[in-house]
Every structure is written in C-alpha cells, then in structure tokens.
Structure 1
Amino acid sequence: MIRHAFLAVLLGLAAFSPAAAESKLHRVAIQVSDGDPARMNLALNNAINIVKVYQARKEAVEVRIVTYGPGVTLVRSDSSPLATRVKSFVDGVPEVGFDVCDNTLTGLRKTEGREIPIFDGVTHVEAGAVTLMELQEQGWSYLRP
C-alpha cells in the first residue's frame, strides 16, 4: 500500500517537472481574411515571432495561418504581394502551415473563369471560418492581426 502511494507521489511530481512543462505544445490559428498586404505581412511577422519565442524556450509550437475571403490573395501563386515570404515559410518554417478556403476559391473560379493557382504546401480546407471555429474548439489559441 505504501509502495503504491509513493509511486503515485513520484508520478505526480514528474507531471510538474520542468521537462513536463517543456513538452507542452503551443498552438495558434492566425486569421487572414483581409486583402491588405500590410495586414498579411503583420500576420507573417506574428507567426515567425511566435515560433522564435517558443524555439528559444525549447517548447513545441504549431501555427496555422487560415486564409479566406480577400485574404486568400496571400497564398495565390499568381498574385501574392508577399510571394517570396510565403514560399520561404512553406519551404523553411515547418512550424507554420497555411490553409486556404475552398469556398472562397469556388467563388473566385466563377468570377475569374479559371483555376486559382495556390502555392504548393498550402492545405485546402472546406471553409476558413469553420476551420478557425473548429481549431478553437480543439484548444487552439486564436489571433487576428
């Protein structure tokens, strides 16, 4: 009996050790629904700064930039005002992922009469707003720069 109690105490202490704190995964979803390049750039700045802080702390972090509406321009390979930065994130910052709203793309295909080119490495989601809701329901933090 005493042996089980001692084991329970040890397990409890392990749960509150610095190593346990380091293993916490920080997750944030960043909304980009505005077509303003300055706001898009701010979202990318937020994403990289978040990653840098948690890397310095040696803590895991995951950032998802969810684009919809006019914000989809950020991940369009034919017209993104920040194409070089987006490509560098996709190719070199694995902690940051990009989502594009298929509802928005459907509307753009009708308006423009053609397929909308999106950067490789961008994940298609059914609806950007719904994705943000569901991520928050799963415990993700939310940021709209």
Structure 2
Amino acid sequence: MSESVAPVSRRGFLAGATALGAPAPAVPAVAQPRAGIVILIDRNDPHVMGHAISYSGNLSRYFTGKGQAVPPIEVVANGLGIDVFRADKSPLKEPLATLRQMIPTVVFSMCASSKSIAESRENLTIQLIDGARLVPFGIGRMVELQRKGWAYVHG
C-alpha cells in the first residue's frame, strides 16, 4: 500500500517548519544584476539597422531627459544582420561612430558563428568596424542578457 504525499512548495515548507518551532533555513541573497537593454539586428536591411541605431540614441535621450543614468546598451548582430558591423559592407559606419561618441558605453557585438559562415561563403576574411567585438553566438548572447534581466528590443 503506497501513501501519496502532496507536493509542498518551498514557501509552504518554510512556513510549516517555522510553525513547528524550527528556525527557517537561511535563503541566500541574490545579487540583482544591473539590467540593460539589448537590441537585435538579424536582417541585412538598412531600415532595421537604422532603427537599432536610432533606438539606442532615443533611449539615451529618454533616460537622460528623466535625469536617470543611461542603462547599458548592447546591439547584437546575428545571421544576415552582421553586415551592420562589417568594415567592408556596413551602410551605417558614420552613424555608428556618432552613436559611440554619444554613448561611449554602447557595445556592438557580432555573432562569430555567422561571421564564419559568411567568410566561408564569400571566401574572405571579414574585418569589423571600429568598436565592434565578436561573441561566440549572437543568439546565445541575447539569451544570456535576457536571463540577466535585460530588456529586449528587436531592431
């Protein structure tokens, strides 16, 4: 004869243990991450790329206008969107340079996997624009930042 046991949530367990006179176990404090804003560019479309840049500038003006610090902003290029950070193809080199002057802390990240695929397809080595960096997988970077509490904006 088996006895069924009702599941007990952590909250229920802590309340029950405390009611029985047992001290509640210590719950470690979780450090709150400094959440930022991550913007994805995943298409080779100048309008999408331009939106990502204008979003970044508008976010800076929005927070500054409210007397608040501008949260960290990272623009991630993935798939066909990597052209935005390519030194040989970016249609927005000057606006990106202006954005970096306006928001020196903005981060430009290019998917290394997408870069490698493009290099194989085009049989060349892709150079990045000034200020851009590689991340192993753009989608992985997006998920990593969202799990840390970053807001997601699609370009």
Using the TM superposition, give the Cα deviation of residue 56 of structure 1 relative to its aligned residue in structure 2, in angstroms. 1.9
Q: Which residue of structure 2 lines up, in the alignment, with residue 31 of structure 1?
A: 40
Q: Is 1:116–2:129 an aligned residue pair?
A: no
What does 1:20-99 align with in structure 2 at a 5 Å threshold? 27-60=36-69, 61-99=71-109
User: CA RMSD of the aligned region, Å?
Assistant: 1.6
> What runs of 5+ residues in structure 1 fail to find an aligned partner?
1-24
1:104-143 Cα offsets, whole Å, 9 max, x none, are 1110111111110111211210000010000000110001
Using the TM superposition, give the Cα deviation of residue 93 of structure 1 relative to its aligned residue in structure 2, in angstroms. 1.9
| 3-state DSSP of counterpart to 1:136 | helix
- Counterpart code for 2:67: K
| 3-state DSSP of counterpart to 1:143 | strand
Using the TM superposition, give the Cα deviation of residue 91 of structure 1 relative to its aligned residue in structure 2, in angstroms. 4.0
Task: Return the alpha-carbon distance in structure 2 between the equivalents of residues 77 and 56 of structure 1.
Answer: 33
TM-score, normalising length: structure 1: 0.78
Return 93-102 or 29-38, whichever deviates more: 93-102
Task: Return the alpha-carbon distance in structure 2 between the equivalents of residues 55 and 95 of structure 1.
Answer: 14
> What runs of 5+ residues in structure 2 fail to find an aligned partner?
1-33
Task: Return the alpha-carbon distance in structure 2 between the equivalents of residues 125 and 142 of structure 1.
Answer: 17
- Counterpart code for 1:40: M
- Counterpart code for 1:46: Y
Task: Return the alpha-carbon distance in structure 1 between the equivalents of residues 105 and 39 of structure 2.
Answer: 13
- Counterpart code for 2:61: K
Identity over aligned residues, as a percent? 26
For the 8 Å contact 2:35–2:149, the answer to whether it is kept is no
Using the TM superposition, give the Cα deviation of residue 26 of structure 1 relative to its aligned residue in structure 2, in angstroms. 5.4
Higher Rg: 2
Aligned length: 122
